[in-house]
Structure formats: structure tokens, C-alpha cells
A = this chain, B = another copy of it.
Amino acid sequence: MFFSKRDLQFNLYQLLDVEQLVQYPYFQDHNRESFDMVLDAAEQIADKMLRPLLTEMDRNEPQLVDGKIRVHEGMKAITRRFGEDGWINATFRYEEGGQQLPATVHNAAAFIFQAANYSASVYPFLTTGAANLIRSFGSPELIDTYTPNMYNGRWQGTMALTEPNAGSSLSDISTSAEPTQTAGIYKIQGQKIFISCGDHDACENVVHLLLAKIKGGPAGTKGISLFVVPQQRVTPEGLVPNGVTTAGVYHKMGYKGAPIAHLMFGSDADCVGYLVGEEHRGLSYMFQMMNEARVGVGTNAAAIGTAAYHASLAYAKERPQGRPIAAKDPTQPQTLIIHHADVKRMLLFQKSVVEGSLSLLLQCGLWADIAHVAQGTDKERAELLLDLLTPIAKSYPSEMCCQTTSAAVQILGGAGYTTDFPLEQYYREARIHPIHEGTTGIHGLDLLGRKITLKGGKAVQLLAEEMSLAIAQAKAVANEPKLPIWAEQLEKTLLKVQQVTGHLLAIAPQNVEAFLADATLYLEMFGITTIAWQWLKQATEANKKLADANADSERHFYQGKIATAHYFFEYELAKTTALAKRLLSQNRATVEMQPEWF
């Protein structure tokens, strides 16, 4: 198996109590049964349609043929199926053809797709995000014209941001929009690179949510507007080419099943764009999609890490090699490698990262749901926590799953480096996530430079309260002495994070470069602490349920949770010691380094 359904259920029903959402009118038709049906349906598609193409899609990457990108022919049926079964707009309102499904459950289903075949999962995911932008900020006409065929999977949605001279620096985009005689309609000119699913033959049209600058507008991010730019525009005569041409398809290290395009707008023929919302507010609209996409990228990474973990676990349970260190008699048969402490360490590392990430990611889904349907302080609280932890939810899984897929490769040894096993593919696919949707460096700046001081530090305060609650509950555990110890460790680490934060904020007024120079390391420290909090919660819950668990499988599940928390607190949380040491240092090795000295 490439994921653990039991673990998803543990998160949804035990840790998060996702059933609490049905108290809100928006979700009132749902219950555990309907959630379980969603997960079962996702598993079916993942197993029957996505998984079988995992390797094939990697070996047969998209090609540009006669100006059109050809993808694996299996993608036609997959994208259509996602549309027909309602996955693309599952969280939207009934009036829009949606199912009013909680994002938490939708994300859990997406996680299953991603673990089965990451590349294939990307197509519908992007369409959902693009459609969501149109329905949130577009005119009724735009919504009616473009979203129905996105929902049914026939039209692909994209987000078109990056340009050759504007990757991390969006303020420098140069794609232009020139007003026409008709209000809301603009002439678009420019090029975009790295556009995921920007063109392919498994759909009938592509709807780009594109950032451009209206001529004469303000410089920088304040002059960015959002447009719907269809590959073919809708006219009374039907679909008509809209001056969007595909200049190339990128060949990549991994994630090969999804086509990443280089697109030209208005170079050969006129290209029309439809303004979404108001002029010059494009970036703030796009952030809705980007924030969703960022939690989504974290989930992708965790899903790939999960598939790699389970593949290496299965191998470790079957592969005999070597003998117990205390009994090395060569006349005795070899032992399974899962009995070696170093192999268990590499498995625990993976399990602790991927399951710790998943619980944070689903927690983010729950906050998104509450922010969506609740009011007042509940809503504000959920929004702030989600905002604060989005850089962690994106970056911790992205960075760490590069390392966990590496550990998975290592468990298989030479076999893991060959294409006979999927591990090397997971390793390649994991590597994109620290890059797209904002590099890790960008998220470090976001966390330390913006999120920490959000609403005067209120978000951080709320998170500290959440952690303190988990700490208090773990301290009160009487039957497992390790839990109060871990609670104290987390408490100390939290104080250390606060000390580091104070130290850095004090530097900011005099030297903003030094303040932010190690933001990436701050992000790492914050991330480990956040995941430790998740493990404390998981272990507390597992310990509570262990006493009443009768079935062996249930007992093992809970024992595994407690043992993995043990690993995390012993091996991973310890890393914050070194990070704090560095972050509290007054030395500025990186700031002082001069380019010519390299």
C-alpha cells in the first residue's frame, strides 16, 4: 500500500474530530459515513486509475508536437473522471454543482491521489484553484462562461505567474494588459514560464488565471491585476483561438507526468484577457489561490514521502540481510533488515516526518473550513493560525520529504537507486516542492518578516495557546511517564523559539538584512517545533486509546504512534538545539561574505 488509511482516519476522526464541522449549516448534510465514502471513492480511483500509470507517466514525459503538448493518453480518462465524479468542485456550494464537502476531507482525498501518482493528481488540483479564483472574484458572466467546463474536467485551469525575469520577484512581471473599448476586456502581451498544465491534449481548453500589469499602472506589486486568459475564448460561434501559443515544454528531473509549459501571449495573434475583480488588486486575489496551493504543495510532498515510506517499509519487512549485532554467527540464516536499529531509525525518521506533516496539513484544512463557515472569534482565530502556519505547512514537508525519500532509497541500497523500484522516482519527484509555490527561502522571509508580527503578534500568541493546551494535556497523563517528559521538552523548545524570535526582532530596527539573513533556519526551527506539537497530540491520543484497544492491529497502531513520537522528541527535536545556537549568534558570516570571495 502507498498510504495508511488508518492514519487518515486517526487524524480526521480522532485528532481533529472533523465531524464537529457538521454543526455548521454549510456542512450539515455530511457525517462520518459520507466522509468515509469520499475516502473510499478516492482510494478506488487512486488504485485503479492513477497508480497503474505512476511509472509509465515518468518514462513517457510530455512532448511538444506541432505546437501542442502531448501528455500520456491515460490522462484524458483521468481528468474526465475527476470532473464527472465531482472532485474538482467538491468543496463548492450546491448551487455551483458542488458537494459542500469540508476542505479537510477533500485534502485527505487529494492526499490519496498524490500518494498514488503525484503528476496525475496535479491536473485537477490546479483546475480547482483556478476555478475557485474565478468564482470568488470574477463577474457572474465570467463564472458562467468558464467554470462549468472546468468543474466537469474538460477544461484545465492554471495559475500563470512566473516570467523569465520574475520568478521569486513577482513585482517585476512585465506581461502587459492594455484596455480595449470594452470594459473589463484587455489585450494581453507577454510570456510566462513554468506554467503547470499550461497546455496539453487531455483537455479541450485551458483557462489561465494570469497576472499582468495594466499599462500606466503603479510600479511593483501594486500594479498587478488578475485576468482570465483562455487558450480559446468563448464566442457565440464557439471556441476561438485566443493568441496563446506554447513555446516549449520543460524537461524535468521528476514530476514528469505533468506538462510544464512556456507560453506566449499575444505574440502571433491578439490575446484577450478578462479582468477578474478590480484593477491592481490581482496579487491579493492570487494569494487566495497561492495560500491554498501552498498547503497543497506541502500535502504533495507529504504524500510522496508517504508512498516512499511505505515502499521502503515493505522492502525492509521482506529483505533478509546481515545478522543481529549481538549474534553474528554466519551459519545462521540472515535476519530481515527491519530488525537492524539503523534501518528502524531510517523508517522512524520517515514515519515521524510524513505522519507529523500530514497531521499538521489536515489541521490546516480544518482551520480553512472553520475560517470559511464560522463567524467572529472562531473565524479570526482559524484564519490567523492558518496564515501563520502556511509557510510551515508548505516548507517543512517539502524540505523534509527530500530527506525522507532519500532515507527510503537508502533502505533499499543499490536496488533503491535503480528504476526497478519506485523509490528513485519518489526521490526525484520530492525535489520540486522546496522550489515551486515560493521557495523555502521565500517562506522563511514570509514567516519571520511578516507572519510573526501579524496583527501585533496575535497569531503567534494563538499558536502558543494551542501548544500550551497540548502540553498541559500531556503533562496530566499518569500512565505513561514519557508523555510529561515530552511535554516539558516541547515547553522548553517553545521558550527557546520565543527567545530566538525576540533576539531577531530586536535586530530588525538596526539591521534588517541581518534580521532576515537566517530566516530559512528560523523557519526550520519553527517547523520542527510545530511538528513536535503534532506528535505530542498524536501520542497523547494514542496513549489514551491504547488501554481500550483489543485488536492487535489497533494496539500496534497506537504503540507505533507513541514510539514514533519518542523518536521525534529524541532525534528530531534535538536539532532545534543547534539551530537556536546559530540563530542566537551575533556572527554574520553570510551577510559579511563578499561575492568576489567565492
Question: Whole-angstrom distance between the alpha carbons of A597 and B417 in the complex?
Answer: 27
Interface pair A563/B593, CB less than 8 Å apart: yes
Cβ of A438 to closest chain B Cβ, rounded Å: 10
Question: Whole-angstrom distance between the alpha carbons of A288 and B56 in the complex?
Answer: 43
From residue 565 to 588 of chain A, which have CB atoms closer than 8 A to chain B? 566-567, 570-571, 574-579, 581-582, 585, 587
Cβ of A254 to closest chain B Cβ, rounded Å: 8
Cβ of A408 to closest chain B Cβ, rounded Å: 12
Question: Whole-angstrom distance between the alpha carbons of A503 and B387 in the complex?
Answer: 45
User: Among the listed B168, B193, B255, B330, which residue makes an inter-chain contact with A322, where contact means beta carbons less than 8 Å apart?
Assistant: B168
Interface pair A169/B570, CB less than 8 Å apart: no
Question: Whole-angstrom distance between the alpha carbons of A407 and B594 in the complex?
Answer: 19
Interface pair A559/B597, CB less than 8 Å apart: yes
On chain B, the residues within 8 Å of A220 by CB distance are: 330-331
Interface pair B424/A409, CB less than 8 Å apart: no
Is A219 part of the contact surface with B, judged by Cβ < 8 Å?
yes
On chain B, the residues within 8 Å of A169 by CB distance are: 321-323, 334
Interface pair A435/B410, CB less than 8 Å apart: yes
Cβ of A234 to closest chain B Cβ, rounded Å: 31
Is A341 part of the contact surface with B, judged by Cβ < 8 Å?
yes
Interface pair B435/A321, CB less than 8 Å apart: no
Is A441 part of the contact surface with B, judged by Cβ < 8 Å?
yes
On chain B, the residues within 8 Å of A296 by CB distance are: none
What copy number does this chain have within its complex?
A: 2
Interface pair B435/A512, CB less than 8 Å apart: no
User: Among the listed B347, B431, B589, which residue makes an inter-chain contact with A566, where contact means beta carbons less than 8 Å apart?
Assistant: B589
A559 closest partner in B (C-beta): B597
Is A167 part of the contact surface with B, judged by Cβ < 8 Å?
yes
Interface pair A330/B167, CB less than 8 Å apart: no
Which one of A10-18, A65-73, A368-376, A517-525 contacts B? Answer: A517-525
Interface pair A253/B424, CB less than 8 Å apart: yes
Contact with B along A375-413 (1 / 0, CB 8 A): 000000000000000000000000000100010011001
A592 closest partner in B (C-beta): B563
Given A221-B330, A252-B418, A574-B578, answer yes or no on A320-B589 (Cβ-Cβ < 8 Å): no
Interface pair B427/A253, CB less than 8 Å apart: yes
On chain B, the residues within 8 Å of A250 by CB distance are: 418-420
On chain B, the residues within 8 Å of A413 by CB distance are: 167-168, 435, 439
User: Among the listed B417, B518, B567, B582, which residue makes an inter-chain contact with A589, where contact means beta carbons less than 8 Å apart?
Assistant: B567
User: Among the listed B162, B172, B595, which residue makes an inter-chain contact with A339, where contact means beta carbons less than 8 Å apart?
Assistant: B595
User: Of A162, A322, A432, which is in contact with the most chain B CB atoms at under 10 Å from its CB?
Assistant: A322
On chain B, the residues within 8 Å of A341 by CB distance are: 513, 516-518, 590-591
On chain B, the residues within 8 Å of A348 by CB distance are: 589-590, 593
From residue 313 to 349 of chain A, which have CB atoms closer than 8 A to chain B? 313, 317, 320-326, 330-331, 334, 336, 338-345, 347-348
How many A residues touch B, CB cutoff 8 Å? 103
Is A453 part of the contact surface with B, judged by Cβ < 8 Å?
no
On chain B, the residues within 8 Å of A406 by CB distance are: 402, 431
Is A560 part of the contact surface with B, judged by Cβ < 8 Å?
yes
Interface pair B342/A444, CB less than 8 Å apart: yes
A596 closest partner in B (C-beta): B556
A565 closest partner in B (C-beta): B589
On chain B, the residues within 8 Å of A518 by CB distance are: 341, 345
Interface pair B162/A253, CB less than 8 Å apart: no
Is A428 part of the contact surface with B, judged by Cβ < 8 Å?
yes
Question: Whole-angstrom distance between the alpha carbons of A255 and B419 in the complex?
Answer: 13
User: Among the listed B325, B338, B436, which residue makes an inter-chain contact with A414, where contact means beta carbons less than 8 Å apart?
Assistant: B436
Is A106 part of the contact surface with B, judged by Cβ < 8 Å?
no
Given A342-B444, A594-B559, answer yes or no on A330-B219 (Cβ-Cβ < 8 Å): yes
Is A251 part of the contact surface with B, judged by Cβ < 8 Å?
yes
Interface pair B440/A417, CB less than 8 Å apart: no
User: Of A344, A556, A563, which is in contact with the most chain B CB atoms at under 10 Å from its CB?
Assistant: A344
Interface pair B574/A582, CB less than 8 Å apart: yes
Interface pair B571/A582, CB less than 8 Å apart: yes
Question: Whole-angstrom distance between the alpha carbons of A169 and B559 in the complex?
Answer: 31
Contact with B along A46-61 (1 / 0, CB 8 A): 0000000000000000
Interface pair A417/B253, CB less than 8 Å apart: yes
Is A416 part of the contact surface with B, judged by Cβ < 8 Å?
yes
Question: Whole-angstrom distance between the alpha carbons of A592 and B517 in the complex?
Answer: 40
Question: Whole-angstrom distance between the alpha carbons of A138 and B196 in the complex?
Answer: 59
From residue 151 to 187 of chain A, which have CB atoms closer than 8 A to chain B? 162, 165-169, 171-172
Cβ of A565 to closest chain B Cβ, rounded Å: 9
Interface pair B559/A587, CB less than 8 Å apart: no
A432 closest partner in B (C-beta): B417
CB-defined A-B contacts under 8 Å, sample of 12: A167-B321, A171-B330, A255-B417, A342-B441, A409-B431, A413-B439, A417-B431, A556-B594, A566-B587, A567-B590, A577-B578, A577-B581
What 10 A-B pairs have minimum CB-CB distances, sorted nearest first?
A220-B330, A560-B597, A341-B517, A253-B424, A578-B578, A251-B419, A345-B590, A566-B589, A342-B441, A169-B322
Besides the known contacts A345-B517, A410-B441, 6 further A-B residue pairs in the complex with CB atoms under 8 A apart: A250-B419, A252-B419, A325-B513, A348-B589, A566-B592, A577-B577
